[in-house]
Copies of this chain bind each other. A is one copy, B any other.
Amino acid sequence: MPANDLNALEPLADKLGRLTDLSPEDRAALLSLPVTTEIVRSGHYLVREGQTPSSCCLLVEGFACRNKLNADGGRQIVSFHMRGDILDLQHLLLDAADHNVQTISESTVAWIPMSQLKQLTFERPAIAKAFWRDTLIDASIFREWVLNVGRRDAKTRVAHMLCEFAARCTAAGLGSPERFELPMTQEEIADATGLTSVHVNRMLRILDEEKVIDRAGRVIRISDWNHMLHIADFDPAYLHEAA
């Protein structure tokens, strides 16, 4: 658990570099943040609803999700995250966490003291801008998820989730539509799409049978991406990936 691992911040610097133009000085300032890295198992809670974190959690390797629970204990996953994503940037300006953050695979995370992050955003407007832009893209993704769970049928819903995950993996350099690996269980796909794991399984089987996707365990191959986009009602504009 090194106290200051430069490599841990690289994925973040890369991601912010995709969001906005960062000067070499901005990038250097970012990379010199003090961090504590940690390896955690799948299912580990990084933030729990109600807490007021004093450190900010950066995902260096692996996958995580944000989720909320309803009164019956039903879980709704509201987003998935991967290498380079900051998982609780909102606590820079909000007090208590309004949702949980949990790993869905073994992961490496880096903790950055909130005070240092605050200072960095104060001193470096370009970095504040990149963070704000990241927040706005997050919000856009949430809006698309409201549409996905509210107004699409089960098959389209699952396909859409797969498309978004494929697109984001591709942007993060973790695969391509032609081949990427799902880190999550079918139950987690269900919690993300507002379905049950049984029905997710049925929909995946149908997508496979109809040759929309090609499954081998958790490895997904999508040979006809345009066809998939159509089936999934997926338009990547909401990801705002073009800088």
User: Which of B76, B90, B143, B233 is close to A99, meaning CB atoms less than 8 Å apart?
Assistant: B143
Chain B CB within 8 A of A18 CB: no
**Chain B contacts for A125, CB-based, 8 A:** 122
Beta-carbon contacts under 8 Å, A175-204 to B: 193-194
Would you list the 8 A-B pairs with minimal beta carbon distance, nearest first? A150-B194, A142-B142, A149-B150, A139-B139, A76-B147, A71-B233, A98-B238, A74-B151
User: Which of B74, B94, B142 is close to A146, meaning CB atoms less than 8 Å apart?
Assistant: B142
Chain B CB within 8 A of A70 CB: yes
Secondary structure call for the A interface? helix
Chain B CB within 8 A of A95 CB: yes
Beta-carbon contacts under 8 Å, A114-141 to B: 122, 125, 128-129, 132-133, 135-140
Q: Is the CB of B94 within 8 A of A193?
A: no
Residues 32-50 of A, flagged 1 when their CB comes within 8 A of B and 0 if not, give: 0000000000000000001
CB distance from A6 to the nearest CB of B (A): 28
Knowing A135-B139, A143-B68, A240-B95, the reply to whether A151 touches B233 (Cβ < 8 A) is no
Chain B CB within 8 A of A224 CB: no
